[in-house]
Amino acid sequence: MTTLRSLALSLCFIGACTQGAGSGDAGPKPAEKPPAPPATPAEPALPGAEKLLADSVEAMGGAAKFDALRSYYAESQLSMGGLGLTGVAKTWWRGGDFYNETEMPGVGQMKVGSLGGKAWADDPINGPRALGGKESEQAAWSATLCLAHEWKRHFKTAETTGVKEVDGKKLAEITLTSALGDKVVMRIDMASKLPVSQSFTQVNPMGELPATVTFEDFRKVDGVTIAFKQVVDASLTKAVSTTTKVELNAPVEEAKFAMPGADKPVTPGALVDAAKIDPTKPAEPEKDVARTDGKKGAKVKAPKPDSP
C-alpha cells in the first residue's frame, strides 16, 4: 500500500521533470540532466521513553509522593453494559504484594493476589491455582497505582515507538517489554503528560485476548493524581470501572495476600498437587500402596504414620 507521503514525493518528482516542456526552437538541444528530486525531510527524533515516563510521574504527583506510598486500598463499581452485569471490586496493595476480590452476581467471586512474587488466582471456573509466566507478570503490574513510576520493577525495556495525533491530542506511544517478552503499549498525552491508555494481550487459561484500557476522570488524592474511571475494551465486550473509594497508606491485612492453603503443611504421602501452591515445584506423584483385600496396583493415599 502506498503511503500519502510516498505518493506526494512521486508527484513532486514528476512535476519537476516536466516543468518547462514546450514548443521552443527547432533542432536538437544539448542533453540536460534532469533535476534531482527534492530531499526527503528527516523524520523528527522521537522523544526518549524514560524522560516521557518520568514527566508522566511528575504530572501525577511526583516521584517523591509515589516513593512515600507504602500501601493503598481502593473500591470500584464495575459495569459490563453489553452483558447487563455489574459488580464491586476491592483491592489491597502493599509494596508490590496485593489482593483483589471482585464480586459479580450471576458470575461469582473472583480473586487474585500475590505475596513475595508468588501470584495466584481463584475463580468459579478454574478454582484456586498458582499463576506463572506472563500471566503472573501481568497480575503484578496491573495492581500498581502508577505504572509509569513502577515500570522498571516489572519490565526490562522502555522504547518510544511512535507519536500520533488522536482526537486533537498528540500522544506518545511507549512500548514496555517484560523479561518474558510480554509487551504493553502506554500512550501519554504530550501536553498534559498524563497517561491516556495502554494496550496489551491479556493471558488467561482460555487463551489470549487483546485489550485496551482508557483512563478518564483524573482526580487528586493526597497530592497524587489518579484516574477514577477506566474503560476496558476487550474486543468482545466493554467494561467500565468507576473508583468510589481510595485510601493511600491505608492499613492492610497481610493474610489476604497469600494463596489460600499455601501456609498449610503437606502430609507426607498425601496426594497434593504442589504446583497449585508453588508453580516452581512439581506435582506429587500418586503412590501404589499394597492392600489387604488382594487387589493390586490400587492408587490410594498412603496411611498416616502412627503417633509415638
Query: CATH number, domain at 102?
Result: 2.50.20.10
Residue 233 lies in a domain: yes
Phi, psi (rounded to 5 degrees) for 138? -65, -40
- Using only C-alpha atoms, the chain has a radius of gyration, in whole angstroms, of 29
In a domain, 226, yes or no: yes
Helix (H) or strand (E) holding 137: helix 133-142
Task: Tally the domains of the chain.
Answer: 1
The answer to whether residue 278 is domain-embedded is: no
Question: Alpha-carbon distance 72 to 145, whole Å?
Answer: 9
Q: Which domain holds residue 56?
A: 49-256
| pLDDT > 60? residue 283 | no
> What digits encode the pLDDT tens for the residues 6-47?
222 222 222 223 233 333 444 445 556 667 666 665 556 889
The answer as to whether 37 is a domain residue is no
* C-alpha dist (Å) from residue 304 to 126, 234, 267, 293, 307: 30, 50, 8, 19, 9
Distance CA 170, CA 189 (A): 6
pLDDT tens digits, one per residue of 45-61: 889 999 999 999 999 99
In-domain check, residue 287? no
Separation of alpha carbons 186 and 148, rounded Å: 9
Of residues 270 and 184, the one with the higher pLDDT is 184
Q: Are strands 97-104 and 85-94 parallel, antiparallel or unpaired?
A: antiparallel
pLDDT at 217: 98
CA 298 to centroid of chain Cα atoms: 47
Residue type, 129: R
For residue 16, give the C-alpha cell: 519537476
Does residue 24 lie in a domain region? Answer: no
Q: 279 pLDDT exceeds 70?
A: no
In a domain, 20, yes or no: no
Confidence check: pLDDT of 307 > 90: no
Task: Note whether residue 25 is domain-resident.
Answer: no
The pTM for the full model equals: 0.71
pLDDT tens, 205-218?
888 899 999 999 99
- What's the mean pLDDT in 195-212? 92
pLDDT on residue 264:
55
Query: Would the pLDDT of 174 be above 70?
Result: yes
> What is the C-alpha end-to-end distance of the chain, expressed in Å?
81
